A and B are shown apart, each in its own frame.
Chain A
């Protein structure tokens, strides 16, 4: 309570925005774990799971990106967090898409690049979500 009264400018993301954004974390994390499982076991089903999890992650990430653009356009101080958040999310999506193409290769052709990309994309999604949910317009007047 006191926190809110001390920081009245703190932006709370739209619930839909927050949901979309937060969903990217378990999806891309799931893809990473599935890739790890395939890497260790050669069981192809893990690779199939990974492909779909990445596709799902891209859908949610893409929609969250639309909110991020809208925020950026509406922000009074575009530099700083809103921009960093937008760029991070954009990088997540682009690398995620490259990863989806990488995962469209057959069998072990996805390895090891698919695993590396999944780890990077997962990390980016976590940072972008952290930034996005911890106040997009801090320092601004909303």
Chain B
């Protein structure tokens, strides 16, 4: 099918410019009560794939009073980071997935989308960064553990380091100051890994260290691989850290890409990526507190009771039960990182969450490609998102980097993983 693929690709590419559906003038749906436009889908989905270009000497833009520096480079696809008690930073590196291509569309779209990502091979490892003298320069960059399978979520409780590979949750013993894992990890539990259309396994841990939460993405955009592929998908698992026993904690979250526990309350929060191909301004990715036993709509409906007609057979009971998420981040921004802030980030950014937005593909005018801050008050989102780290796209429309995981360093910094430039950024206050 090679020549036909090439021919089809050529035709698609030419036609894309000509008759993709247009981005509407509609504002991106944001906040707690987003205005959602009507679904629309032209004969071709709108796509803009970011052409990568190196940072060279440039760095992302941060607000006045802050400085950003690259603290690690030449990584192998950094995704999520974890700041250890002694200030060392662990970086999970890798690329997972590899879902089989079932339709001509998968072949073509897969090729086009690959143009907007790094060509570096999957690291499948954890890298440790150390700044021993506290000068902000991380002089040690060493492999902490390798031979992992697309590690993504990281969590630490006392002497236990948990890593969510794309197929299993594992545990390392960790001693303060360690720079290399003392041995191979122990399995806590296997994770759903069949197909792995959305392969990232987000991870966080309860404050008492007893339970782990793992985010498991759906196996399709909107059930186009069949409902049988969606068993144990699009949900957050609640896992006993000791025994590995697990149960669904919340369901209907299409792709919960980052999880975090709210300090003080112990409440689980998530960012999730919503479905594509319903238009440039649908469906908003969201930030939400996650209710135990809650159902968040996927695949039957979005943002509460908006039925998705692409799903057959439908389920009216499920639609009625669907919970509206707390806060819309905008459609197609691809939120992949979530971190609760603290006083160390300065007064203006002390109460709220930072969110890493990987950036859109299913939209003519790109959105995302930045780190935003969502202010909180009284433990709830309280205002529109504020840009915090920007400049990931250059003025000539090329893409220098794509933010993924964001983590607060209690010493006073925000750590941002960039999986296109294979860099880790560190944002600090200048006074």
User: Given contacts A101-B44, A103-B103, A108-B312, is CB(A55)–CB(B226) below 8 Å?
Assistant: no
User: Given contacts A45-B226, A98-B43, A101-B43, is CB(A106)–CB(B277) below 8 Å?
Assistant: yes
Q: A42, B41: Cβ atoms under 8 Å?
A: no
Q: B313, A42: Cβ atoms under 8 Å?
A: yes
Whether A100 is near chain B, meaning CB under 8 Å from some CB there, is: yes
Q: B277, A102: Cβ atoms under 8 Å?
A: no
Q: How far is the CA of A66 from the CA of B221 in the complex (A)?
A: 38
Assign chain A's interface to a size class: 20 to 34
| CB proximity of B330 to chain A, nearest CB, Å | 21
| Chain A 122-142 interface 0/1 with B at a Cβ cutoff of 8 Å (1 = within) | 000000000000000000000
Chain A neighbourhood of B43, CB < 8 A? 98, 101-102
Q: B220, A43: Cβ atoms under 8 Å?
A: no
User: Given contacts A44-B226, A105-B277, A107-B224, is CB(A55)–CB(B1) below 8 Å?
Assistant: yes
| CB proximity of A39 to chain B, nearest CB, Å | 10
Q: How far is the CA of A102 from the CA of B103 in the complex (A)?
A: 12
Q: Is the interface of A mostly helix, strand, loop or mixed?
A: helix
Q: How many residues of B contact A (CB 8 A)?
A: 26
Q: B312, A106: Cβ atoms under 8 Å?
A: no
Q: B109: nearest residue on chain A (CB-CB)?
A: A104
Query: Which residues of B are in contact with A by a Cβ distance under 8 Å?
Result: 1, 4, 7-8, 11, 41, 43-44, 102-105, 108, 220-226, 277, 309-313
User: Given contacts A48-B103, A97-B11, is CB(A108)–CB(B226) below 8 Å?
Assistant: no
A106-124 at interface with B (beta carbon < 8 Å):
106-109, 111
Whether A52 is near chain B, meaning CB under 8 Å from some CB there, is: yes
| CB proximity of A72 to chain B, nearest CB, Å | 22
| CB proximity of B76 to chain A, nearest CB, Å | 32
Q: How far is the CA of A102 from the CA of B41 in the complex (A)?
A: 10
Whether A24 is near chain B, meaning CB under 8 Å from some CB there, is: no
| CB proximity of A4 to chain B, nearest CB, Å | 38
Q: A101: nearest residue on chain B (CB-CB)?
A: B43
Q: B103: nearest residue on chain A (CB-CB)?
A: A51
Q: B310, A55: Cβ atoms under 8 Å?
A: no
Q: How far is the CA of A100 from the CA of B103 in the complex (A)?
A: 10
Q: Supply 17 A–B pairs (Cβ within 8 Å), ascending by A.
A: A42-B313, A43-B226, A44-B223, A44-B224, A44-B225, A51-B103, A51-B104, A52-B104, A55-B1, A98-B43, A104-B105, A106-B222, A106-B223, A106-B277, A106-B310, A108-B312, A109-B222
Chain A neighbourhood of B108, CB < 8 A? 104
Q: How far is the CA of A100 from the CA of B108 in the complex (A)?
A: 12
Chain B neighbourhood of A104, CB < 8 A? 44, 103-105, 108
Chain A neighbourhood of B222, CB < 8 A? 106-107, 109
Q: How far is the CA of A142 from the CA of B312 in the complex (A)?
A: 55
Best-surrounded residue of B8, B220, B309 (most CB of chain A within 10 A)? B8
Chain B neighbourhood of A42, CB < 8 A? 312-313
Q: How far is the CA of A97 from the CA of B1 in the complex (A)?
A: 16
Which of B1, B226, B277 contacts A109 (CB under 8 A)? B277
Q: How far is the CA of A130 from the CA of B343 in the complex (A)?
A: 78
User: Given contacts A59-B4, A97-B11, is CB(A109)–CB(B41) below 8 Å?
Assistant: yes
Total contacts A-B at CB 8 Å: 65
Chain B neighbourhood of A51, CB < 8 A? 103-105
Q: A51: nearest residue on chain B (CB-CB)?
A: B103
Q: How far is the CA of A97 from the CA of B102 in the complex (A)?
A: 18
Which of B11, B102, B221, B309 contacts A48 (CB under 8 A)? B102
Q: A108, B310: Cβ atoms under 8 Å?
A: yes
Q: How far is the CA of A58 from the CA of B226 in the complex (A)?
A: 26
Q: B15: nearest residue on chain A (CB-CB)?
A: A101
Q: How far is the CA of A108 from the CA of B311 in the complex (A)?
A: 6
Q: B8: nearest residue on chain A (CB-CB)?
A: A55
Q: B299: nearest residue on chain A (CB-CB)?
A: A107
- 4 additional A-B residue pairs with CB within 8 Å, beyond A42-B313, A47-B103, A59-B4: A47-B224, A101-B44, A104-B104, A107-B223
Chain A neighbourhood of B44, CB < 8 A? 101, 104
Q: Top 6 A-B pairs ranked by shortest CB distance?
A: A104-B105, A106-B224, A44-B226, A108-B312, A51-B103, A109-B310
Q: B221: nearest residue on chain A (CB-CB)?
A: A106
| CB proximity of A110 to chain B, nearest CB, Å | 9
Chain B neighbourhood of A45, CB < 8 A? 226
Q: A42: nearest residue on chain B (CB-CB)?
A: B312
| CB proximity of B74 to chain A, nearest CB, Å | 37
| CB proximity of B297 to chain A, nearest CB, Å | 16
Best-surrounded residue of A42, A98, A101, A102 (most CB of chain B within 10 A)? A101
Chain B neighbourhood of A55, CB < 8 A? 1, 4, 8, 104
Q: How far is the CA of A52 from the CA of B44 in the complex (A)?
A: 18
Chain A neighbourhood of B312, CB < 8 A? 42, 107-108, 111
Chain B neighbourhood of A52, CB < 8 A? 103-104
A80-104 at interface with B (beta carbon < 8 Å):
97-98, 100-104
A27-43 at interface with B (beta carbon < 8 Å):
42-43
Q: A54: nearest residue on chain B (CB-CB)?
A: B104
